[in-house]
Amino acid sequence: MTQTNSERLERLHTFLTQEKMRLWNELRVELFETLGEGLHSQYDIPQDVGEKGIIDLLEDTGLAVADIHKEELSRIEEALRRLANGSYGFCEDCGEPIDEGRLRVAPFAPCCVDCQERREEHSSTKGLTL
């Protein structure tokens, strides 16, 4: 069982890391497309600007589009932290491991499919909440 569990963690870690990279790349592209050429001269960003550099840059520019990505990135960071301390990927309600396929579609799902359905039954006035 330990073997299976560590393989699962390994796969989830790879997945989350890829998600993080994808988000950073999107963020970069959006930043440069939105601000265009002026960005380089105005902020003097090196081509290989690091994560910290981009965060600083975002705070300087105050782009709304970037806020969405910042939000997602902080959730990914949180997920990676929880993965490191062993609390990521488990259902909040029943404590069972959440299906990996589900986590790939909804990395921040707080609970498993069964419990999600139960939750939705109980909150009939609310729409889909992941």
Binding residues vs Zn ion (CB under 5 A): 91, 93-94, 111-112, 115
- Please list, in sequence order, all residues whose beta carbon lies within 8 angstroms of the beta carbon of residue 72, skipping any fewer than 6 positions away: 23
Q: How far is the CB of 5 from Zn ion (least distance, A)?
A: 17
Kindly tell me which of 43 and 90 has the beta carbon lying closer to Zn ion: 90
Q: How far is the CB of 113 from Zn ion (least distance, A)?
A: 8
d(CA 120, CA 14): 30
Kindly tell me which of 33 and 92 has the beta carbon lying closer to Zn ion: 92
Q: Alpha carbon 55 to chain centroid distance?
A: 15
Kindly tell me which of 57 and 98 has the beta carbon lying closer to Zn ion: 98
Kindly tell me which of 16 and 116 has the beta carbon lying closer to Zn ion: 116
Q: Are residues 5 and 12 in contact, defined by beta-carbon separation less than 8 angstroms?
A: no
Q: How far is the CB of 90 from Zn ion (least distance, A)?
A: 9
**Rg, C-alpha atoms of the chain:** 18
**Terminal-residue alpha carbon distance, the chain:** 29
Q: How far is the CB of 38 from Zn ion (least distance, A)?
A: 50
